[in-house]
Amino acid sequence: MDTDRARKLRRSMTDAERRLWNGLRDRRLEGLKFRRQQPLGSYYVDFFCFEATLVVEADGHQHWDEDDKWYDYHRTKWLESEGYRVIRFDNRTILKYPSEVFATIAAAAKERLKD
């Protein structure tokens, strides 16, 4: 994987990604460690919790196009086939309802940790 690409992605986060990262970094959510722009296979995921095998994606307007939806669908299917749980949030939802988004992430992580 290209570590330069991961660094570039981390430097060019959207407002929604910054909001998520602020709540996920430094074990701020349920004491879980999240990484940002983590390579998994041939993909980079927005946020990843190794302990819970949980992927969190922040989707902006570029994900509304049919080709991008198709790409995201296959990407998600591959990640799930590797044992990861993928949850996606629209950027607008992240910015407008951050507490609900973090509650959803926490619940998904807890569910994964039970297994």
The per-residue pLDDT for range 80-104, each reduced to its tens digit, is 999 999 999 999 999 999 999 999 9
Position 7 scores a pLDDT of 56
What are the CB-based long-range contacts (under 8 Å, 24+) for 61-64?
61/91
Give dist(CA 101, CA 109) in Å, integer. 12
Encoding tokens for residue 60?
């902006």
pLDDT tens for residues 48-85? 999 999 999 998 765 466 677 788 899 999 999 999 99
pLDDT of residue 34: 97
Domains and CATH numbers, the chain: 3-107 (3.40.960.10)
Identify the residue with better confidence: 111 or 69.
111
Q: Tell me: the pLDDT tens digits for 3-26? A: 665 555 556 689 999 999 999 999
Alpha helix (H) residue ranges in the chain: 3-11, 15-24, 66-81, 91-96, 98-114
**Cβ contact 63:72 at 8 Å:** yes
pLDDT the model gives residue 71? 85
